[in-house]
Structure 1
Amino acid sequence: MKLVTYRHNGKTSIGKVEADRIIDLPRNDPALPDTMLALLQGGQDTMARARAVRGDYSVPLSEVQLLAPLPNPSKFLAIGMNYRKHVEEAARVGVQTPPTQVWFNKQVSCINGPFGDVHLPAVSDKLDYEVELCAVIGQRCRRVSREDAASVVAGYMVCNDVSVRDWQLATQTMTVGKSFDTCGPTGPWIVTPDELGDPHALRLRMWVNGELRQDDETGSMIHDIYAQIEHLSTAFTLEPGDLLATGTPSGVGVAMSPATYLRAGDVMRAEIDGIGAIENRVVAEPV
């Protein structure tokens, strides 16, 4: 399934995409919840019920506004330095290779829709892009082995880990520079694992104003998704709807020579094969 949160005629709901239409889940089956988080929290039985919904009520995809599929997760975590070529380019600008997985928080207030504007902060001119595959946790879990990790994933979506580089590098945690409002575009939908196939065999790309900046395969991760889940769940419980941004490949603006940051009017397009694309315009932050 491709699961979406969408707005149509002023009403927000959830649905599944089939061809060029969205089949509304709660309207076709009132026993289903009307938010994505509640759908995931319902577990496998609720997801099976969603799969069985027929298209008695649907709307054209072209007539809706797609929103962030999961606007209110309890956690939005991201791993840094997880693609081999990205580690190499980071070393060229003085960032050392970490000996283990390096995780940071993106505050959930940064979450943005797949086509929402991204603000160029009034306090910085060092805004940067990072295309990433985002894994969505589907069940409450702790101490998950790498071998069992696939079973706790509800699906995958495209993420742009937009970063305010000077604020990011000012502290070891990186959290503030990764969490400015609007700097977490996700979407356009959650693709369930049965439809996507192997998440480590996907091409991911980022364009800025039509220029290809990033282009790699998810198989180039240093720590694959299942190792990431094993690592995190050793420390704390993962909850349904938690978001894991799984790393970005080489080609980010800060590593270009000279460093090339985003400006108002720039358009970022992040695309992952098997999922789709999100596109976000940079605009000056309202003051």
Structure 2
Amino acid sequence: MKWVSFNYKGNEQYGMYNEHEKTVVNVSALKDAPKTLLEAIGQPEFLEKAVLAAGSASKIQESEVKMLAPIPRPSKNIFCVGKNYRDHAIEMGGEASVPEHPMIFTKAPTTVSANHDVIPAYESLTEYLDYEGELAVIIGKRGKAIAREDALHYVFGYTIINDVTARDIQNRHKQYFLGKSLDATCPMGPWIVTKEEIADPHHLDITTKVNGEIRQQSNTSQFIFPIDEIIHVLSRGMTLEPGDIIATGTPAGVGFAMNPKGTLQSGDTVDITIEGVGVLSNKVE
């Protein structure tokens, strides 16, 4: 099942996307529907009814809507895991930078943008705007102190994130938040694939291309910290809620680590493909 948010006739709505038919079942139009997909994720009984009612619900052609990020406005910062692939940790700082514990930072909710939206080049602010292709986890139910063995039961689904980063701002401030939180530097989408569609989130191919050139190519089996451990660590003293977003880290091949540097320039196109999830594509302007 693919869940999407979209703009239709000037209103934000959400529903189930049929990739074969290129249509959207407008779940927002159902009786007693929550206003947003973010709210609906926290109401599993409604989502179950929506799936059963899909056959009789109204359908809209994809060409009639403007697709949005699946969660256009998260209720809190996006959780991100730094250096969660050993090869990326080494390319950014050598063996000494491989973490012993999950490195957690966040991106502001205002960073979120959609598939095919423009990534601003921010040429007056940064010389090193970089890409990071990542699998993202969407939390499906509220929980705290979640045991590792139960953690995947708290997942609603998966999407793709490009954790666009201003490397010089990140380095200048000695922390990640400012360099990670420029507006529209978290393209997300194109949809949320429910967890039932992904047999094993720890065995998915991930590829990032810039202007058609492969820059990152790996598999989520290379995570240092798997998803269940990340959820367990985050929830030890903090409540996770439906719709929370966790970006699980990026593999080696970022532009800043190249020689010469291959960071993003105006006119570049970034395509991130994750097996079983889809393709996230954005142009820098």
Q: Which residue of 2 aligns with 1:149?
A: 151
**Aligned AA (1:232):** L
Cα deviation, residue 25, structure 1: 0.4
Q: What is the CA deviation profile of residues 104-159 of structure 1, one whole-angstrom value per residue up to 9, with x for unaligned ones? A: 01011111111110111121121000000000111111000110001111110000
1:80 and 2:82 aligned = yes
- Displaced runs of 4+ in structure 1, greater than 4 A? none
Alignment partner for residue 132 of structure 2, among 107, 130, 133? 130
Cα deviation, residue 260, structure 1: 1.6
* SS at 2:252 equivalent: coil
Structure 1 range deviating more: 59-68 or 128-137: 59-68
Q: What is the CA deviation profile of residues 76-115 of structure 1, one whole-angstrom value per residue up to 9, with x for unaligned ones? A: 01000001211221235x9722221101010111111111
Alpha-carbon separation, structure 1, partners of 2:271 and 2:167: 19
Alpha-carbon separation, structure 2, partners of 1:222 and 1:156: 19
Q: 2:270 touches 2:283 (CA, 8 Å); kept in 1?
A: yes
Q: Which residue of 1 aligns with 2:64?
A: 63
* SS at 2:49 equivalent: helix
Q: 1:25 touches 1:34 (CA, 8 Å); kept in 2?
A: no
Alignment partner for residue 197 of structure 2, among 178, 195, 198? 195
Cα deviation, residue 8, structure 1: 2.5
Q: Which residue of 1 aligns with 2:219?
A: 217
**Aligned AA (1:161):** D
Alpha-carbon separation, structure 1, partners of 2:172 and 2:239: 29
Q: Which residue of 2 aligns with 1:112?
A: 113
| Percentage of identical aligned residues | 36
Q: What is the CA deviation profile of residues 6-51 of structure 1, one whole-angstrom value per residue up to 9, with x for unaligned ones? A: 1123232101012321101021x22221311110122x21221222
Structure 2 unaligned regions, length at least 5:
none
Q: 1:21 touches 1:60 (CA, 8 Å); kept in 2?
A: yes
Q: What is the CA deviation profile of residues 233-283 of structure 1, one whole-angstrom value per residue up to 9, with x for unaligned ones? A: 013111111110000001000111122211001011111111111111111
Alpha-carbon separation, structure 2, partners of 1:95 and 1:66: 42
* SS at 1:120 equivalent: coil
Cα deviation, residue 223, structure 1: 0.1
Alpha-carbon separation, structure 2, partners of 1:246 and 1:161: 10
TM-score of the pair, normalised by structure 1: 0.94
Alpha-carbon separation, structure 1, partners of 2:173 and 2:275: 34
1:234 and 2:236 aligned = yes
Alpha-carbon separation, structure 1, partners of 2:100 and 2:171: 18
Alpha-carbon separation, structure 1, partners of 2:170 and 2:64: 38
Q: Which residue of 2 aligns with 1:266?
A: 268
Alpha-carbon separation, structure 2, partners of 1:172 and 1:32: 44
Alpha-carbon separation, structure 2, partners of 1:106 and 1:167: 14
Alpha-carbon separation, structure 2, partners of 1:88 and 1:258: 17
Q: 2:7 touches 2:65 (CA, 8 Å); kept in 1?
A: yes
Q: Which residue of 2 aligns with 1:177?
A: 179
Q: Which residue of 2 aligns with 1:276?
A: 278
Q: Which residue of 2 aligns with 1:8?
A: 8
Alpha-carbon separation, structure 2, partners of 1:228 and 1:205: 22
Q: 1:142 touches 1:238 (CA, 8 Å); kept in 2?
A: yes
* SS at 2:234 equivalent: helix
* SS at 1:194 equivalent: helix
> How many aligned residue pairs are there?
280
Alpha-carbon separation, structure 1, partners of 2:236 and 2:260: 40
**Aligned AA (2:252):** S
* SS at 2:98 equivalent: coil
Structure 1 unaligned regions, length at least 5:
none
Q: 2:86 touches 2:98 (CA, 8 Å); kept in 1?
A: no
Cα deviation, residue 60, structure 1: 1.7
